[in-house]
Amino acid sequence: MNKIFITFFIPIAIFSCRNSGANSAETTETFLSQDSYAALTNLTLDSTIIEKFIGEQKIDKVVAEKIRSFYNSRNYQYAWFNEDGVAEQAHVFWDLHNQYINYSQDSSFFDKQLHHQMDFILSEEESDWNLSENEIANLELEMTAHFFDFAKTRYTGKLNPNDVQWNIPVRKIDAVGLLDSLVSTKGENLEEWEPLHKQYRLMKKQVLRYHELEKNKNWKSEISSDKKVLRKGDTAVVITEIKKKLEALGDLQPETHSEVFDSQFEQAVIHFQKRHGVNQDGVIGPVFFKLINVPLEERIQQLLINMERMRWLPEPGEGTRIVANIPSFTMHVYEGEKEIFTTDIVVGKAGTRTVIFNDKLEYVVFSPYWNIPRSITRNEIVPAMNRDPNYLSKNNMEITGRSNGLPVIRQKPGPNNSLGKVKFIFPNRYSIYFHDTPAKSLFERDQRAFSHGCIRVKEPHKLASYLLQNFPSWNDSGIRGAMNSGSEKWVKLDNPVPVLISYFTAWVDEDGKLNFRNDIYGHDKKMISQLFSHTSH
pLDDT value at position 37? 41
Contacts for 112 with CB less than 8 Å, ≥ 6 apart: 537
pLDDT tens digits along 83-101: 888 899 999 999 999 999 8
pLDDT tens digits along 92-142: 999 999 999 889 877 777 777 888 888 878 876 655 667 788 888 999 999
Residue 21 has pLDDT above 60, yes or no: no
Q: Which H or E element spans position 345?
A: strand 338-348
Report the C-alpha gap between 338 and 341 in whole angstroms.
9
Asked if residues 195 and 173 have their Cβ atoms less than 8 Å apart, the reply is: yes
Residue 315 has pLDDT above 50, yes or no: yes
- Helix 133-156 and helix 61-73: axis angle, to 10°? 110
Nearest CA to 421 out of 330, 489, 512 is that of: 489
Report the C-alpha gap between 85 and 108 in whole angstroms.
29
pLDDT tens digits along 144-199: 999 999 999 999 999 999 999 999 999 999 999 999 999 999 999 888 899 999 99
Report the C-alpha gap between 48 and 312 in whole angstroms.
37
Residue 535 has pLDDT above 80, yes or no: no
Q: In the chain, count of helices (H) and strands (E)?
A: 18, 17
Q: What average pLDDT does the chain have? A: 89
Asked if residues 54 and 64 have their Cβ atoms less than 8 Å apart, the reply is: yes
Write out 365-405 in H/E/C secondary structure.
Answer: EECCCEECCHHHHHHHHHHHHHHCCCHHHHCCEEEEEEECC
The band of 11, judged by pLDDT with boundaries at 50, 70 and 90, is very low
pLDDT value at position 376? 93
Domain with CATH 1.10.101.10 in the chain: 222-294
Asked if residues 520 and 449 have their Cβ atoms less than 8 Å apart, the reply is: yes
Residue 410 has pLDDT above 80, yes or no: yes
pLDDT value at position 217? 79
pLDDT value at position 125? 62
The band of 433, judged by pLDDT with boundaries at 50, 70 and 90, is very high
Q: Which one-letter amino acid corresponds to residue 267?
A: Q
pLDDT value at position 29? 36
pLDDT value at position 129? 65
pLDDT value at position 256? 79
3-state DSSP assignment of residue 449: strand
3-state DSSP assignment of residue 491: strand
Domain range 222-294, CATH class = mainly alpha
Residue 79 has pLDDT above 80, yes or no: yes
Residue 482 has pLDDT above 70, yes or no: yes
Nearest-5° Cα angle at 51, 46 to 52 = 95
The band of 23, judged by pLDDT with boundaries at 50, 70 and 90, is very low
Domain with CATH 2.40.440.10 in the chain: 315-369+413-504
| DSSP designation for 84 | T
pLDDT value at position 220? 84
Alpha carbon 318 to its chain centroid, in Å, reads 19
The CATH fold assigned to 315-369+413-504 is L,D-transpeptidase catalytic domain-like (2.40.440)
pLDDT value at position 27? 33
pLDDT tens digits along 231-270: 999 999 999 999 999 999 999 998 778 999 999 999 999 9
pLDDT value at position 25? 35
Can you give the pTM of this predicted structure? 0.88
